[in-house]
Each structure stands twice: as C-alpha cells, then as structure tokens.
Amino acid sequence: MKTLLIVIFLLCSILVFAQLDLNLGPDWNFTGVGARAVGMGGAFIGVADDATAISWNPAGLTQLDRPEASFVVRGLAELYEVDFDYGIETYEDEHGILNFLSGVYPFEFSGKQFVAALGVQRQLDLYSYYHEEFLYEDIGESTEYLYETFSEGGASTITLGLANRLASIFSLGVAANLWVGEAYLETKDIVDEVYSDYYYYWDYYDRSDWTFSGVNFVCGAMLDFNYSSNPFPLKIGIVVKTPFDLNIDEEFLLEEYTDDNGDIYESEPIESSDSYTLGIPLMMGLGTSFRLGDNFTLAVDMESRKFGETTLKEDYADLIGLDLEEEDELIIIENQDLNQLRFGGEYLFTEIWDFAVIPLRIGAQTYPTLFMDNNDKQVIGAAFSFGTGLITDQFSLDISFKNTEFEIEYEDYDDDGFIYKKTMNTLTLSCIYYF
C-alpha cells in the first residue's frame, strides 16, 4: 500500500506537467522574426524596413534599395512551475533553432521598381521534452518508474514575396506561404516492480511522425508620409493573412511488452496512418511608427488572430489523442481570438564609433493564450524585451532578450487544483548582410 501511494503521488505530478504542456501546444501567436523586431517588443508592422520585412509586412520591402540576406537563430529556455496544495513542483528545459533565412532583391521592370524576397521561417516550433524517473526501495521490494516524452521539428513556411511602391507614399506587397515541415512525438513508459513473491515489468513506446502541408497568402500595405509633399516622419502598416487548413499526415507506431510475474505479453507492433487538419484563421495586423528626430523611433502594433472562428480545440485534441468528453482531461485550450498589443522603441547612438551605429531597443507586449481561467476569462500574459546590435555599411548584427510569463489557476470538480506558471526566456541573434 505504501508503494502504491508513492506511485500515485508521483504519477499525478508527472501527468500534470506532461499533459498541460502538450495540451497548450506551440505558440499560436504567429508573428514575424528578427532580433531587432523582438527587441522592439514585436512592434514592427509599421517599421518593416530590413530583410525580415517579408515576415512582418511585405509592403515594407519597398524601403530596401539594395540586395540583402539575413538569418535568425533563437534560443529558448522554459521554466514550468505548478503550485499544488502540498508545494511547488518545477521543471526546466531549453533548446535552440534556426528560425529564419531570407534574401531580398530590388529590380526594375517596365520602368517600375519592384522588390522580391524569398524567406524560410519556422512558424510552429513543436519541440518539447519531459523526463521523470524515480526509484523506491524497501526491504524485500522496489519500484522503478520512467516516463519520457520528446517531440522535435515543426511547421515552416517557404515564402515568396513581391512589393511595389504604387505612389509616393503608398506601397503594396503580397506573399505566398508554402507550409512544409516534419515533426515527431515519442513517448516511453517503463514500470519495474519487484516484491518478495511477485514481479511486474511493463515497457511501452509509441511514436507519431507528422508531415505538414498547406498554402496561404499575405497582403500588406504601407503608408510612408516621409515621402509626402510635406514630409512627416510617420509610417502606417497593415497586414492581412488568409485563413487555411494546415494538413497533417501521421504515421503512428506502438510497441508494448509486459512480464506479469512470468506471464509474458508482447504484441506485434501496431502501425497506422491517418490525416488531420488544423484550422488556421484569418489574421490582421495594424502598426504605426513615428520617428522623433533622426535617431529615435517609437512603434505600436495591434494584431488579431481569429481562432474563435475555428475548431482548433477539437482539431488539436484529435491530433494528440485527447478525449474532450473525459472530465479528468486537463483541457484548458479554447477556441478564442488572440488579440495582441505590442509596443517598442529604438534609439541609434551614432557618435560612439565612426564605422558603426549602436542601437538600443526596448519593448513590451501582451501575450494572449488559448487558456481560460477558473472565472472563464482568457489567460493573458505579458512579455518584456530589450536588445542592441552593431550596424555598419556592410552588415548589421543584432541581439535581443525577451521574458514572457503567464499563469493559469486550475480547479477540478472536487475543488482540488493548482496554479500553473510558465516562464519563457528567449535569446535571438540576427545577421543582415548588405550587398
């Protein structure tokens, strides 16, 4: 009985961590990339004046007058905390990815100036890792348990964009996103129990391999009053991303082995194939930037992702094998819009070195989630960021740090519950080369 209570206690802690993180899934706040933009709190729709513009607002590409190439890498450290009645359990994880690659090429056609861009961006990062094991030993008995889940990969876009300045202050840009990518999720579960007169061993393994496909389009516009007859340092950007179905083809494998005190059960590997879709909604963003003097820029973005008009909750539960009718499922994800505000500023120090400009950036943003709290209100976190870099005539190097936090208070039907808090620290490094 003592051993059983210990096993039940530890299993509850393990399942809360593993299931909550899995149910949340990836970050559904689709945005652009780049250390400069992140340092400015992600307020970049109304700025979009470098090689990452295709990921924010393709109309901003018209501000580029020479070829550019860029890459962005990102490191993410996550801290999970669950505050139970009996104490706080914590878990940490970190990983890094190549987040973005792009090339930009201005050209002339029929006497008009165009800018073309090609980019590759990781849109949904499905990396996750959870590992828990324990060993309990007493006189004449022992219990060993191992639980591990690991997922890697994700959905990326190959984006082709084109922009043109249709009038002195008005630019229009369009882009097509081809969604590609692969990911896998595997789970290992081992129980090894030894008693004086009984032995039990169970070894379970399953793996899902996913392949992603889909197409959507992005339309952006930019009003730049710096080019008006009476120049004014204000830019306004608008971006619309079309809704689409993200198709997922799955190959599933399950293997199981049991030794129940000498009674061996080993099933043949179970293999199956299936297809799923995730409804990705209409997304709309509005941004503005204002330059104070020659060196200081302020920017504000508002962006809405219409997940309230989708069946993402049901689609995602189907994908990861969750039963929405089970009362004990920790399902907090809901179909609701993700409306986000982003603020940022950038100041350029031009007199420190003759050969380079040193930027200082700071920003903040709301972090809406698909979670609901006990009062049926949407859980909205917050993020703060800062960054700097080195800008020369030939290249720019940028680095930023962002801290994001949100927490959910969960309570079940027996008035038992916990507070789940997630902290994400993101380090982003970008390089842009000017040809």
Contact 283, 310 (CB under 8 A): no
pLDDT (0 to 100) of residue 28: 92
| More confident position, 303 or 129 | 303
Task: Please state, in angstroms and rounded to a whole number, the distance separating the CA atoms of residues 41 and 366.
Answer: 9
Q: Report the largest interatomic distance among the alpha carbons of the chain, rounded to a whole angstrom.
A: 92
Domain total in the chain: 1
320 — phi, psi (to 5°)? -95, 5
The conformational region for residue 25 under phi > 0 = left, psi -120 to 50 = alpha, else beta, is left
At position 355, the amino acid (one-letter code) is: F
Reported in sequence order, the residue ranges of 126-243 that DSSP labels E, i.e. its strands, are 128-138, 141-165, 170-180, 182-194, 199-224, 234-241
pTM, rounded to two decimals: 0.90
Contact 290, 344 (CB under 8 A): no
State the residue for tokens 């179905």. 245
The three-point CA angle 207-213-217 to 5° equals 145
| Spatial CA neighbour of 421 closest among 96, 29, 16, 134 | 16
Tens-digit pLDDT profile for residues 226-239: 999 899 999 999 99
Domain coverage including residue 190: 2-434
| Nearby residues of 358 by Cβ (< 8 Å), 6 or more positions away | 348, 349, 352, 388, 389, 390, 391
Tens-digit pLDDT profile for residues 66-90: 999 999 999 999 988 888 777 788 8
> In CATH, what number is assigned to the domain containing residue 64?
2.40.160.60
| Nearby residues of 263 by Cβ (< 8 Å), 6 or more positions away | none
pLDDT (0 to 100) of residue 1: 45
pLDDT (0 to 100) of residue 65: 92
pLDDT (0 to 100) of residue 376: 84
Coil/strand/helix, residue 319:
helix
Reported as type and span, the H/E element at residue 282 is: none
Please determine, for residue 284, whether its predicted confidence score (pLDDT) is greater than 90.
Answer: yes
Most confident of 143-147, 265-269, 381-385: 381-385
